[in-house]
Structure formats: C-alpha cells, structure tokens
Structure 1
Amino acid sequence: MEHMIRRVRAEEWAKARELRLEALRDPLAPIAFYESYEQAAEQPDSFWQERTTNAAAGADVVQFVAEAADGRWDGTASVLVEHEGSTRIGKPAPMEQTHVVGVFVRQEARGSGLAEALFRAALEWSWALDSPPVERVRLLFHSDNTRAAGLYRKVGFVPSGAVGPVPDDEMAVEYEIRRPPQGV
C-alpha cells in the first residue's frame, strides 16, 4: 500500500481527532501516551481545531500523517520544538532540541515501513530548523514498551542515559539523536 507522508492541514481536524482516538484505543496506549481515550474523547471540537491548526502552522509543533491513496490516514507522528531552558515535557531542555511525540501506526499498516517514513519526515523537519538550529532530537518512552524501543533504535535513536521521571511515568526512558555533521 502506497502512502504519502505529509503535514496535516488545519481543516483536517476531524481526521486528526479520529486517528488520535484510535491510537488511544491501542493496548499499549496507557504506557505510550500521556492522555487517556476518555480524556481525549471529552475534548470539544474547538480543542481539536486549535490543536490541528497549530500543528499545520508548524511553528512550535508539526504533525505528519501517512495518507493512503484512498485518503485514509494510517499513521502519524508529531514534533515539538523545545527551546533551551523550556520545560514542555520533563526536565528543562539543556539545548535547542525537538521532541518526537504521538507516534502511531494503525495495526493493519504496521511492518510496512510507515513508522520509519514518519520518522524520516520528523527528523528532516527537525534538522532543517535554523532559527536557532536544533542540536538534538529526543523522545521518551516507557521502559516496558519494547515495540517502541525496537523502532526507535531502528531509526537511529540511542539511549541518552537519562531516565524518568516524566509526568506520571517514573519508568520513562529518554532516547536521542544528536545533530549530525553539516551536510550529512
């Protein structure tokens, strides 16, 4: 199945909502996401509209989707910009960095390379930032989420040595990729 990896558009908030709710129904959701299905489902349309508009603008957050030829979204990944000293998730950012969050691929599309393609888009976007340039890309995951750990290693993330706690998750592990040499 062919997919196009692209940024979300503001008017696609209903599809963004549907895919997020699907992700929160996944059996690993309790250790993969910082919100529950119930919390997300209770949000009004205005919440989803604002969230999607912000992700489409791509200033401090961007959302990528994997869109099939029939228009179905089979995966997503978002990237948050964390400026040095900011405390968006966890401890203060020690440098200019981005943070990959909300990674999800529908069950029937897993193993197809979609997750890797979403990560390529997230990393390319991160490394292209130049005001100021990003020094590392990081992500957090629960130590029991072995499926995620395998994927993150596959796409080049390595343990940073940092271990939790993050909001409500003392079992969180941080992986990172440092900025590659220019021209790589």
Structure 2
Amino acid sequence: MSFTVRRITADDWREVKALRLRALADDAAPIAFLDTAENTAAQPDRFWQERAASASGDAPAAQLVAVTDAGEWVGTVTVLPRHDHADAGLVVGVYVADGHRGTGIIDALFAAAAEWARERGLSALVLEVHVDNARAEAVYARNGFVRDGEVITEGFGREHVMRRPLLECGT
C-alpha cells in the first residue's frame, strides 16, 4: 500500500468529517480526543466547511492527511498556532486508521507537519498525550517528541506535554 501526505483544501470538508468520525470510533478515542462521535456527527455542514477552510490555504493552521492510492483517507495530524508559546505549533487530532498503523504513515505525517511548521518560522512542535495512552506516547517519542516535564489537567484528565525541536537540518 502506498500513500501520499498532503494538506487539506477547503473543498475536502466531507472527507475531514468522515475521517474525524472514524477517529472518534477508535477504541483509544476516550483518552485521545476531546470530543465524541455523537457530538461530531451532530455538527452542521457549515461547521465542517469552516473547519476545513481554517486548516487549508493560507490559514495559520494546517491539517495534513495521508491518502492511499485508492483514495482512502487513513491518517491525519493538525498543527495549530500555540498562543502561549509563539515559537511552537500545537499538534492535535493525531490519528492513523487501524489496519494502517505500523506502515510509516504517522512518521510521514509528522515529517510533513515539521516541514510546514519550519516554513512558518516555528522552532518546535508541541503536543499533549494522556498519561494512560502509552501506545501514542511511544509513537511520539519515536518521532522526536520528549516530555518537557509539564503535566496538564485541563480537558479530560492528566496529560504529558511533549516537545519536538525543529532543527534547520530537516528533523
């Protein structure tokens, strides 16, 4: 199976919604996402159109997706501005579909996120991972993220903050 990683366009809103619903149906969703499938499914089309537009084009955020050669959307990450640390992008919405994990998709998504962030002058990527989500934390660590010592308790429980420096040499 081969895939391409690309930034979404505003016209991709239907696929963005479908992939988000797929992510929220995953067994890890309760400790990985701050939303539910029920809430997400209830959002009107306008919500999804605005969401896609705010992460495409020249928007200050970017949603990157992995799409198979057959056209199936199988992974995503989003990088948002981080207002409390202007030098870093906040990575959210990390997901790779079951059956596609372990194929390099997440590595390619993080590489694309790092490239996008570097092009905007950011020096790091930051993310938050639930303290009970060891599988995700291991993937993040493999991709250069390290705990920065901060634990936050906003949202739905305790989360480690992890940071990945972005070096000029392409990491």
Calculate the TM-score normalised by the size of structure 2.
0.94
Q: Distance in 2 between matches of 1:94 and 1:61?
A: 15
SS at match of 1:168: coil
Gaps of 5+ in 1: 87-92
1:145 correspondence with 2:133: yes
Q: Distance in 2 between matches of 1:127 and 1:106?
A: 27
The residue that corresponds to 1:89 in the other structure is none
Which of residues 114, 123, 126 is equivalent to 2:114? 123
Query: How far apart are 1:58 and its partner, in Å?
Result: 4.4
Question: Aligned AA for 2:45?
Answer: D
The residue that corresponds to 1:48 in the other structure is 48
Query: How far apart are 1:56 and its partner, in Å?
Result: 1.2
Question: Aligned AA for 1:161?
Answer: G
Q: Distance in 2 between matches of 1:179 and 1:9?
A: 25
The residue that corresponds to 1:34 in the other structure is 34
SS at match of 2:138: helix
1:112 correspondence with 2:103: yes
Count of residue correspondences: 170
The residue that corresponds to 1:81 in the other structure is 81
SS at match of 1:55: coil
Question: Aligned AA for 2:124?
Answer: R
Q: Distance in 2 between matches of 1:60 and 1:165?
A: 26
Check whether the contact 2:114–2:125 (CA below 8 A) recurs between aligned residues.
Answer: yes
Q: Distance in 2 between matches of 1:95 and 1:74?
A: 30
SS at match of 2:56: helix
1:179 correspondence with 2:166: yes
Question: Aligned AA for 2:130?
Answer: H
1:60–1:43 Cα change, 3 Å: same
RMSD: 1.3
Q: Distance in 2 between matches of 1:69 and 1:49?
A: 25
Check whether the contact 2:31–2:156 (CA below 8 A) recurs between aligned residues.
Answer: no
1:135 correspondence with 2:123: yes
The residue that corresponds to 1:90 in the other structure is none
The residue that corresponds to 1:164 in the other structure is 152
Check whether the contact 1:64–1:76 (CA below 8 A) recurs between aligned residues.
Answer: yes
Calculate the TM-score normalised by the size of structure 1.
0.88
